[in-house]
Amino acid sequence: MKQALSLTLCAAFLLCLLAPVARHMQERPFVQRVGVSPQPAVMRFVTADQKQIFGALEVLKVLIYYGTSLEKAQQHQDIVHDFQGMYPLIKTATRLDPYNMDAYYFAQAILVWDMRRIDEANALLDYGMQYRTWDFYLPFFAGFNHAYFLKDYDKATFYYKRAGELTGSDLFIRLASRYMYEANQTGLAIAYLQTMKAGARNETIKKSFDLRLTAFMAVKRIEDAQAAFLRDLGRPAKTIEEIAQAGYLATPVIDPYGGTFYLDNTGRVRTTSKFAALPSNNAK
Amino acid sequence: MDAITIEALSKTFKGKRGRSVEALQGLQLSIPPGEVFGFLGPNGAGKSTTIKILMGLIRATGGQASIMGIPVSSHTARRNVGYLPENPSFYDYLTAEEYLNFTGKMFGMTGPMLHERSQAMLHRLDLWEARQRPIRTYSKGMTQRLGLAQALLHDPQVYILDEPMSGLDPIGRALVKEIILELKAAGKCVFFSTHITSDAEAICDRVGIILQGRLQCVERVETIMTPDAELSPGDSAQQSLEKFFLEIVRKGSH
Amino acid sequence: MHHLILITWKGLLRDRILQGILVATGIFLFIPSVSVLSMRQVGELAITLSLSLTSFILLLIAIFCGGTALWKDIDRHSIYSVLGLPISRTNYLLGKFFGIAGFLLLISLVLGLLASATIWYVSLTDPPARPILWTNILMALTFDCLKYIMVVAVSFLFSTVSTSFFLPIFGTITLFLGGNVTQEVYDYLQTPAGAALPALTKQIALFLYYLLPNFAVFDLKANAVYSIPLPANGILLPLAYSLAYCGLLLSAAAMLFTRRELH
């Protein structure tokens, strides 16, 4: 009888606790949730013969974390992205399983766009290319990084060629070299993002490409209107409003990242959001 | 040739803190075929140590022992032995039938001969009803009887039984005594340890009494039981092995 | 000896461990849904998860069955009745060992089939980037099994000198981790940073590298997961290595066990 009473009381108490505990865990800051990973060397020791699965788990952890934070960003919640925490996890994953494509793919997605840590990303890609010798994606990423971010067109051509050899098609190199020749950054980015979106299988990633692609399409609209303005009126426009008032932009252009587009001193299209979903990210 | 020969056997255990314990000192004993020999002594006297040396479970520090002429250090010596350990325990996931089948095969028995013999033993030791139950469901007495069954199974020349009566009810003890007498009639050698003098008195030809690792005496039971024997102290006409045993123990501990 | 092998087998099959394994195999059902969490390598992740699960179950069996086999017999006193039979200590030890090794083989076969079924099922909708090399998967499973048979041999060596199951189990776990990392250390020694280490440290590391079992040679998971071709050396050398090392461990175990006193 006494045991039954104590059992019931404890069960009721536990039941009352479940919801608050779950809520508490839900409300932890993101930094806390993505967690930390020991040094790659330590991980290699403790994971024994299970390196691949631990590598995969590290990436999945980051991916799930990223997916949730992306959702929150779209709901315009104030969040603190833990990019600094994500990078070591990804790096550890590649040290555990140098073949893990998810790691390189994800590193390319967050490292270059959100963190602008192009050199780290390229180092990671070079490392991966030693192992995934059959994979065209890695040189393709590296080629884009060199062309778009570093404007090192020689190196970019080298990587694009390698990607072309692996696919047996010179589509990338032809497309890329045209944009590189024109120094058309927006065109380069759109071509890259379209390839990436087409190959994306994961919904979260697809969404993030979509978002970025929409932003670049918007930039392209402004740039096209800007060019038309210059051609017709014989002088460059000073502001986007000026272009719109002259009737070159039928509908207002919206930055999907929540920022406002503007023209900088040199006449380049910029946005206050800097194409990143987070307020704290101060890209170079 | 004697069935069991033990010459100057000694065993020293290394105890804690470098102290060594002499469990057995200069044991000298030989037992001919057809004899039932009772090995008597209080707990810790060295009975089990002797038996374990005979069965190759521990190694003697000095001296030697052999069974049917084969040194006990060789596992082939055990081919001629039926061994019942003290408080025996068997792979308890097996049934009695399976276990007997296993032991029989280990002794090189095969086919119908093994089957027949195993059935006979199960009947003889009253395990027939339980033969298909896992050993883990057995009572202590049943396990003890199974131990005897596996010792008898291959019909060896020598039987080494460590406390064969322990854990048995009166019916079981009577059964074991009966079996030992049958073995004697068949000319087998039975060497068993016990601290129950009445059991030894009833079935042994000779008894040896061991105390603190030293064999105190070896005597024929009929000699002990004779009232006017020189060895027997006291004035009672009613002589018994128990009295004799206690007297030896008293003398030995002085 | 083969009678003892059969008896050991029977024991393992009747043990509750089999129910535990059965429960653990239920995890295979979740692999397809976990795999789709991957961005670029759903098929590869399914192979990784399937092989890892198989490997992990085999590891648990190897450590717990191997580490407790002798201890159980001694602790429950059943060893007295078995060694009372005309069987040498060496044969007793080998009988037990091969019983467990055979059990590991059987479980590997069953788990291997389950793993293959899972991989095949996932590959229907999400084929890996490169076509699955089934021979590589078979090899990865086979060498995993060999590796864990070697782990059993390690645990037997510990069991022969131990009176409890602590040393066999924790010693084996330690040696298993150590045996997986010596290759890492060796590789590190080949790098400039490693070469700069003190000579004594390098000597000790090299000594341990050659002395401890090198479990890394059996790890063909990357070849199986990413369909990387296997060189003939990658099969023959580990095979020979496991034979030699198991032989060594068992000989040492037999030597120690023959001298052991069973009070």
- Name which of C4, C7, C82 to mutate to probe chain B: the one with the most chain B Cβ atoms within 10 A of its Cβ: C7
Are B85 and C15 within 8 A, CB to CB? Answer: no
What local confidence, expressed as pLDDT, does residue A209 receive?
Answer: 79
Domain B4-252 CATH superfamily: P-loop containing nucleotide triphosphate hydrolases (3.40.50.300)
* C147/A contact by beta carbon, under 8 A: yes
Report yes or no: A229 and A236 within 8 Å, Cβ to Cβ: yes
Cα separation, B48 vs B86, whole angstroms: 8
pLDDT at C16 over 90: no
Report yes or no: B99 and B90 within 8 Å, Cβ to Cβ: yes
Tokens of B217: 């005496």
CA of B140 vs chain C CAs: smallest distance (Å): 14
What local confidence, expressed as pLDDT, does residue A279 receive?
Answer: 43
What local confidence, expressed as pLDDT, does residue B156 receive?
Answer: 92
Are A106 and C41 within 8 A, CB to CB? Answer: no
List CB contacts of A161: < 8 A, sequence separation 6 or more: A173
Cα separation, A105 vs A95, whole angstroms: 15
Are C222 and A134 within 8 A, CB to CB? Answer: no
What local confidence, expressed as pLDDT, does residue B254 receive?
Answer: 62
| B89 vs C10, C77, C262: nearest CB | C77
* B88/C contact by beta carbon, under 8 A: yes
What is the pLDDT confidence band of residue C121, given thresholds at 50, 70 and 90? very high
Are A201 and C42 within 8 A, CB to CB? Answer: yes
Instruction: Spell out which residues of chain C touch residue A101, defining contact as CB-CB under 8 Å.
Output: 39-41, 44, 129
pLDDT tens by residue, B158-183:
999 999 988 888 999 999 999 999 99
What local confidence, expressed as pLDDT, does residue A284 receive?
Answer: 31
* C52/A contact by beta carbon, under 8 A: yes
Element (H, E) at B148: helix B140-152
Cα separation, B172 vs A205, whole angstroms: 79
* B147/C contact by beta carbon, under 8 A: yes
Are C84 and B83 within 8 A, CB to CB? Answer: yes
Cα separation, C99 vs C177, whole angstroms: 25
Are B88 and C81 within 8 A, CB to CB? Answer: yes
DSSP for residue C218: G
For residue C24, give Cα distances in angstroms to B25, C14, C21, C151. Answer: 56, 17, 5, 21
CA of B108 vs chain C CAs: smallest distance (Å): 10
Find, in chain C, the residue whose alpha carbon is nearest to that of A204.
C39
Chains A and B touch (3+ CB pairs under 8 A): no
Sequence length of chain C is 263
Look-up of token digits 């314990």: B21
DSSP secondary structure string for all residues of C230-249: PPTHHHHHHHHHHHHHHHHH
Lowest mean pLDDT among A251-260, C42-51, C174-183: A251-260
Instruction: Spell out which residues of chain B touch residue C84, defining contact as CB-CB under 8 Å.
Output: 55, 78, 81, 83, 85
What local confidence, expressed as pLDDT, does residue C116 receive?
Answer: 94
Are C130 and A46 within 8 A, CB to CB? Answer: no
Tokens of C80: 């007295």
Sequence length of chain B is 254
Domain ranges of chain B: 4-252
Instruction: Spell out which residues of chain B touch residue C78, defining contact as CB-CB under 8 Å.
Output: 89-92
CA of C162 vs chain B CAs: smallest distance (Å): 16
Tokens of C195: 């070469």
* B102/C contact by beta carbon, under 8 A: yes
Number of neighbouring beta carbons within 10 Å of residue C138: 14
Positions of chain B with pLDDT under 70: 227-238, 253-254
Tokens of C83: 């060694």
For residue B21, give Cα distances in angstroms to A182, B244, C263. Answer: 97, 27, 14
CA of C142 vs chain B CAs: smallest distance (Å): 30
The letter for the amino acid at B190 is V
Q: Measured between alpha carbons, how far apart are the two ends of chain A, in Å?
A: 70
Are A101 and C37 within 8 A, CB to CB? Answer: no
CA of B103 vs chain C CAs: smallest distance (Å): 7
Tokens of A258: 């929540």
**Three-class secondary structure of residue B164 per DSSP:** coil
Tokens of A157: 């051509």
Find, in chain A, the residue whose alpha carbon is nearest to that of C49.
A53
Instruction: Spell out which residues of chain A touch residue C130, defining contact as CB-CB under 8 Å.
Output: 134
Cα separation, C135 vs C116, whole angstroms: 11
pLDDT tens-place values along chain A, 284 residues long:
788 888 889 888 888 888 888 887 767 665 555 666 667 777 777 787 888 888 888 888 887 777 777 676 666 555 556 667 778 888 888 988 999 988 898 888 777 877 788 888 899 999 999 999 988 889 989 988 998 888 888 888 888 888 888 887 777 777 777 777 667 778 888 888 888 777 777 677 778 778 888 888 888 888 888 888 888 888 888 888 888 888 888 888 888 888 888 888 888 888 887 776 544 433 33
For residue A66, give Cα distances in angstroms to A103, B98, B248, C34. Answer: 13, 61, 87, 17
Report yes or no: A172 and A163 within 8 Å, Cβ to Cβ: yes
Instruction: Spell out which residues of chain B touch residue C87, defining contact as CB-CB under 8 Å.
Output: 75, 106
Report yes or no: B26 and B77 within 8 Å, Cβ to Cβ: no
Cα separation, B115 vs B120, whole angstroms: 9
Inter-chain contacts counted by CB atoms under 8 A, chains A and C: 79
The letter for the amino acid at B254 is H
Cα separation, A89 vs A110, whole angstroms: 12
What local confidence, expressed as pLDDT, does residue B112 receive?
Answer: 92
CA dihedral C196, C199, C204, C209 (to 10 degrees): 50
DSSP secondary structure string for all residues of A147-192: IIIS--HHHHHHHHHHHHHHHT--HHHHHHHHHHHHT-HHHHHHHH
- Name which of A43, A44, A46, A52 to mutate to probe chain C: the one with the most chain C Cβ atoms within 10 A of its Cβ: A52
Cα separation, B253 vs C110, whole angstroms: 65
What local confidence, expressed as pLDDT, does residue B129 receive?
Answer: 92
Instruction: Spell out which residues of chain A touch residue C215, defining contact as CB-CB under 8 Å.
Output: 48-49
Chain C residues touching chain B at CB-CB below 8 Å: 3-4, 7, 10-11, 14-15, 76-78, 80-89, 259, 261-263
Phi first, then psi: give them for residue B36, nearest 5 degrees: -105, 120
Cα B233 off chain centre by: 28
For residue C219, give Cα distances in angstroms to A53, C170, C214. Answer: 13, 22, 10
